[in-house]
Chain A
């Protein structure tokens, strides 16, 4: 029986190649480090080319499902910190430390489409995609910057609340990294264009730069990640309210 099914899949792969779902699975199931620390340099560029810059320190575990962010710059934001814990099947937990008030405040995750810190990335963009929450369709392969890419169409399933109708993702055939993505709003109009640049540290492909352009608002965001460190044995204990009040040195 095993032999028959193996033969069937082999035959299927040879005849039609990988399906969209299979490509997506390979993308999402790529191994992630146990934990990740970095410094995020975020630049927001307005329609009138005015720039706002933020620098944040981030630590995360579990493929970013638990993340702590401390604001370092600009001066106005310094000391503010943010804790996010994603839950499957219920609202994410998001808390902020407001040093001037000496208070921790929970913030809503109701408006998932809202921009994170005025950037072009929404909380939905920042959340990890769950493989079975979307439908995948493989489109014709394309060459991008001289490299061969899969192109897959990712559409959130009806039961999933999303600000997007679909995404077109360009997946590097060698690394299975998404290097480019075009997202469409619920009316089917192009909403955002995203570009990703990776760096390889140890055996992991880690994003070192993201560029997002909101086509409809003509506003863009560039995030560069520096001081990337991984597998530092960050324990679950770090992701507690009490740690919001302290900016880590490393």
Chain B
């Protein structure tokens, strides 16, 4: 096929993917509230945003939930990935794998609904927590659940969705990993935990990091599951934005979008710079190793 046509198709595709994001960025600096009128450059909407306490509160809640759910998701996802890759046979493996992949395809409305009903059932079963002794009371005082739904239930939901995504990322790294290094360590007398800590772990760190970032983003971004699981005092940023967006165009959303884009752009830039340096370092080390061997 004609390469000019190919370049045209690629250009159109990228334009389609990026123009909406760019319009948000440009519009966030628009003095006018109207989208089609350029009222001059202004930082007005950022000022409005900075004074909006609901937005600030929601942002910090979202960040907190995303941090903890991504961490839990990566830990559980690592275990699940190891179970899938390293144990070709165990009881219920097919069910396990189906369960693990389910959150990737089940629509969010269903995940949200089922988790909410589950938490409501637990709340109903437990009743007043004080009767169940000091442990559950402590739990309630720390996490707010089962007294009311909120940060804890959202965290649990995000962790279970994120676990599936983390497992996919880590699994693919484990599959392509060279097992002979672990076997060598084993032969040289390493205990299983030492093998993991000294040999396996350093090799999967990049996968763990990207899984963490991915699940963090998923949690930061989630509207539907969160809306089901949140309580009266726990509005996350996406739920807040969804509420505003349903009412129509709102310039403060553009400002939020621009800040997000800026953060993502910085992170991607830093990430690629790091990867680039790392690759250079590895190449230099390999070259040095070959030199020594000669």
Specify whether A and B are partners.
no
A-side residues, CB < 8 A to B, are none
B-side residues, CB < 8 A to A, are none
